[in-house]
A = this chain, B = another copy of it.
Amino acid sequence: MKSRYKVTFQPSGRTVHVLAETILFEAAARAGVLLQSPCGGKGTCGKCRVRVVEGACAPSEACRSALTEEQLEEGYRLACQAKVGGDSVVDVPDASLYEASTKILTSGEGRELSGQPAVWKRYVELPCPSSEDAVADLRRLEREIGKVHVHLDVMQGLPNALRDNAFKGTAVVCSSRLLAFEPGNTEGQCYGVAFDLGTTTVVGELIDLTTGRELAVVATMNPQISLGDDVISRITRARETPGAVEEMQASVVGALNELIEELVAEADVPQEKIYEITVAGNTTMQHLFCGISPAALGEVPFPPAYNRTLMMTTREVGLRVHPNARLCVFPNIGGFVGGDTVAGILANGLHCTDRPAVLVDIGTNGEIVLACDGKLFTTSTAAGPAFEGARISAGMRATVGAIEKVVMNGEDLVYNVIGDTAPIGLCGTGLIDLAAVLLRAGIIDATGRVLGKEEVPSSVPSALCSRLHERDDGQVDVLVASAEESKSGEAIYLLQRDIRELQLATGAIRAGLNIMLQRCGLTADDLSEVLIAGGFGNFIRRGNARRIGLLPNIPSDRLRFVGNASSMGAKYVLISEEARGIVESIAESAEHVDLSMDPEFQMEFGMAMMFPEDA
């Protein structure tokens, strides 16, 4: 029996290698396929149903009670219950996807967006002018499509566009603005692109605005990385290097243009039929994308330049789609609570939840949103880059070669490596897993100290114990992968100071969350939901996150992974004009809490750095 299996998800064809016994739901998330999970993975709602068409994924008890014998025969499983038992191919029905693509549903019941995109097309056949009907060309068109504002170039082209085509053609309208008048009936070709503009990664999704369906998704590194690894280094560059803002803007716009070309190639649609682009990112990334200096974000009190949705034409920033296409950049709430958080609030319906709920985006900056009594409180907390692998001795991003998962298997730990290769280092989820495993075994104590071989409880299996290596200074390293196993030929260790970095990161997020709860007179128990957003959040094992204190100790069914909420929010605004209005009011009404101003924060932070005694 192999210890790792390859799982391919259809129809996307995405493939991952996971440890044996990994639940399908987790494997799917790792592959970027986010499934529905309203019951929180308890196997009771049946919403995450998939069909295993090749390979072996044994049905659990919950599968047997939720599905008929016939369905089980056909390979149907509950993804949150069935475990990978061999190389498999799994069909994912649309209905099981977290984002139902044709209909926008926010997280709660009955909270639907009306779903009319700002951009729409209408094919018209107008009567030709006659002596009895000599109205202006524009009014002739408006009798069919209603009153519109007109771009000058459209107005300039309209008389000929009408006369060259016997007064027939397709009007393209965006929020009462006539973007174009095209020959023939092009009603079926109406596209938009939603961008999630991350510090590290940029994700673009091509959306068919007539159906709301996603036609293609592409991603690339944010090329600004070469000019600064994280938000702070780019702010510093903007402050210190003349021309840096323009340079960084040009580089990210170039990346978006490349993604647009990939998207239209993949979906085989005409580039000039893209009429709207939405962009959600953190405050700094949005500033740089718009060519607005983020210099003030490098200095107390970190005020953003703008707090409003910025609307412009795509050509103003140099995006190559329809020249009159609208560009909508999300509003910011604070210097480190940006459009991505606003998008996440929208996508998860936090603005209209009636029970206290929290959204946490775990990254270098942990953004926290608490919805309570119809109000939104937001903050950001400097978690540091531990979750992204930085400042961890063997740390790395979650890319090929990263140990992304660590579990106990009998007497020793085993790990899974992204891309099924020899390990290069540890990414954030692997780090959390490893810390949780060591905490449970008693090798790390509540203060975060790694115990020596002589100090560990006798219950620690000898295989695990043999991984501990005491240094001359008394600090203890944990061997994760031996020199033989590792790609580089050098052993991979977890060091004492890596645990300290992890404590700083988890402490910052937990302290932030605790302060926010205290402000509203709540405890973690009062929360109806804790939503974990962000690409990283997707892959965290809930139990392990609770064990190290990153997440509060509340039942699993109240902890939900909501995937790339920023991307989803950006898409919502494309698909629903109403959503754009909601975004505006979210940014306007959300209260931004500055943790550095809170006298309790240091105390909370210190306490939150301790690992919970039990969990």
Residue numbers of A with Cβ under 8 A of B are 129-140, 149-150, 152, 155-156, 158-160, 163, 290-293, 295-296, 300-308, 310-312, 316-317, 332, 334-335, 592, 594, 596-597
6 further A-B contacts with Cβ under 8 Å, apart from A134-B335, A136-B306, A156-B291, are A131-B597, A138-B305, A149-B311, A155-B292, A156-B293, A159-B293
Chain B residues in 8 Å Cβ range of A130: 301
Do B150 and A310 touch across chains, with their CB atoms under 8 A apart?
Answer: yes
Do B306 and A138 touch across chains, with their CB atoms under 8 A apart?
Answer: yes
A592 to B334 Cα, complex, angstroms: 55
26 CB contacts below 8 A, A to B, read A129-B296, A129-B301, A129-B303, A130-B301, A134-B301, A134-B302, A134-B335, A134-B592, A136-B304, A136-B306, A137-B304, A137-B305, A138-B308, A139-B308, A149-B311, A150-B306, A152-B310, A152-B312, A152-B316, A155-B305, A156-B291, A158-B306, A159-B293, A159-B295, A159-B305, A160-B293
A138 to B129 Cα, complex, angstroms: 48
Do A301 and B156 touch across chains, with their CB atoms under 8 A apart?
Answer: no
* Cβ of A21 to closest chain B Cβ, rounded Å: 49
SS of A interface (majority)? mixed
A156-B290, A156-B292 in contact; A597/B306 too (CB < 8 A)? Answer: no
A186 to B306 Cα, complex, angstroms: 24
Chain B residues in 8 Å Cβ range of A138: 305-308
CB < 8 Å: which of B139, B159, B290 contacts A307?
A: B139
What are the 10 A-B residue pairs with the smallest beta carbon separation, nearest first? Answer: A134-B301, A136-B307, A138-B306, A129-B303, A136-B304, A131-B301, A159-B305, A137-B305, A139-B307, A134-B303
* Cβ of A178 to closest chain B Cβ, rounded Å: 11
Do B135 and A596 touch across chains, with their CB atoms under 8 A apart?
Answer: no
A310 to B155 Cα, complex, angstroms: 9
Copies in the complex: 2
Closest to A311 in B: B149
A260 to B310 Cα, complex, angstroms: 32
Chain B residues in 8 Å Cβ range of A302: 134
A149 to B592 Cα, complex, angstroms: 23
A597 to B132 Cα, complex, angstroms: 8
Closest to A158 in B: B305
Chain B residues in 8 Å Cβ range of A135: 303, 307
* Cβ of A238 to closest chain B Cβ, rounded Å: 10
Closest to A331 in B: B136
* Cβ of A585 to closest chain B Cβ, rounded Å: 13
Chain B residues in 8 Å Cβ range of A305: 136-138, 155, 158-159
Closest to A133 in B: B301
Chain B residues in 8 Å Cβ range of A335: 134
* Cβ of A129 to closest chain B Cβ, rounded Å: 5
Chain B residues in 8 Å Cβ range of A134: 301-303, 334-335, 592, 594
Chain B residues in 8 Å Cβ range of A290: 152, 155-156
A136 to B335 Cα, complex, angstroms: 8
Chain B residues in 8 Å Cβ range of A293: 156, 159-160
* Cβ of A422 to closest chain B Cβ, rounded Å: 48
* Cβ of A376 to closest chain B Cβ, rounded Å: 16
Closest to A287 in B: B159
Closest to A306 in B: B138
A137 to B301 Cα, complex, angstroms: 12
Closest to A159 in B: B305
Closest to A294 in B: B159
CB < 8 Å: which of B150, B292, B296, B594 contacts A308?
A: B150
A402 to B130 Cα, complex, angstroms: 42
* Cβ of A292 to closest chain B Cβ, rounded Å: 5
* Cβ of A336 to closest chain B Cβ, rounded Å: 11
* Cβ of A310 to closest chain B Cβ, rounded Å: 7
CB < 8 Å: which of B137, B292, B308 contacts A306?
A: B137
A332 to B596 Cα, complex, angstroms: 60
A290 to B304 Cα, complex, angstroms: 38
Closest to A129 in B: B303
CB < 8 Å: which of B129, B159, B312, B597 contacts A292?
A: B159
Chain B residues in 8 Å Cβ range of A156: 290-293
Chain B residues in 8 Å Cβ range of A133: 301
* Cβ of A243 to closest chain B Cβ, rounded Å: 13
* Cβ of A592 to closest chain B Cβ, rounded Å: 7
Chain B CB within 10 Å, residue with most, of A301, A303, A312 = A303
